[in-house]
Structure 1
């Protein structure tokens, strides 16, 4: 059964979190398209606009926190809880069984955006396809292509639907 004290937005309606609207972006600056997969009063998960692989997700707290040491205990707990749920949904939705979870703290640690966030990065097996000389991009190095809007929209829908199933399963187990 779901925890009655923990409200989350149904994954099919990620654009309207319950409660007051929280300012996330400067309304006077242009923002790139975003493909939200999960929205709770505490967290957001969305597709990376420069993905390392198809399905590359970012998970972050809504409240500004530059580094992991700046999140409070309840935010840290929510991040950990949803990392597991998003990981399970990511594997199911992409069909890729291996993935990285990466979280950088500070410029020397390759943190580019000054807001704590986790990367969930599917890692398709490239050797199985016969591309023995290829390697995958890691920690932002290498060629990254911009996320295609149509592909991003379709993938976000698939991820939200899969996440809804995962959350329903976990709720029946009493693990939320």
Structure 2
């Protein structure tokens, strides 16, 4: 696969570090979201990269994968395949596709996690808490902590809060479940004429 398109803006600080999202884009080929490869398919192996990547969606334009330091179980990242540091650099076609994926990934996320509430967060620049210099949306499930009896636990927004490394075994299963639910959502919507 050809390397992703890199944009250059002299107003942006130069970075010597390779973009981890571009590495994911270069490693994982697109697949149809309505018929994703099976969980044991070598092309989806999370260990093709270090750190591991757990891909949920991979189109010619967009990628979605589990955050490796999730704020909650199921925390997804959605980004354009091409390197775009900020939202203002995303093309109109990329923005339209990302918006469409946000909606259907949200439905799949609710079904796969059983959590009915979630945040969609998108940060632009270091002062706005953007850590990876590649535009991305966070889809963050927000479980009801009062009902769980964990009264002292709290969830915060914009990248702050307790973050633990993703459990690889759970992530393999969760990513497969998210791909399955996404395919179901898309099939249902195709049947209702919503696509």
- Tell me the TM-score range normalised by the shorter chain: 0.7 to 0.9
Aligned residues: 159
What is residue 71 of structure 1 aligned with on the other side? 90
- Residue deviations 1:91-118, cap 9 Å, x none? 0110000000000000110000000000
- Residue deviations 1:96-151, cap 9 Å, x none? 00000000000110000000000000000001122233211322212211111111
Q: Write out aligned runs for 1:151-166 (5 A).
A: 151-166=170-185
Q: Which runs of 4+ in 1 moved over 4 A?
A: none
Partners of 2:120 and 2:77 lie apart in 1 by 10
Check if 1:55 corresponds to 2:74. Answer: yes
Unaligned runs of 5+ in 1: 1-6, 17-26
Picking from 4, 9, 21, the partner of 2:32 is 9
What is the TM-score normalised by the length of structure 1?
0.84
* SS, match of residue 86 in structure 1: helix
Unaligned runs of 5+ in 2: 1-29
Give the drift of 1:8.
Answer: 6.0
Which has the larger helix fraction? Answer: 2
- Residue deviations 1:33-76, cap 9 Å, x none? 11100111100000001010000000000011001110000000
Give the drift of 1:172.
Answer: 1.3
Of structures 1 and 2, the one with the larger relative CO (CA 8 A, separation 6+) is 1
What is the TM-score normalised by the length of structure 2?
0.76
* SS, match of residue 60 in structure 1: strand
What is residue 98 of structure 1 aligned with on the other side? 117
Taking only aligned residues, the RMSD between alpha carbons, in angstroms, comes to 2.1
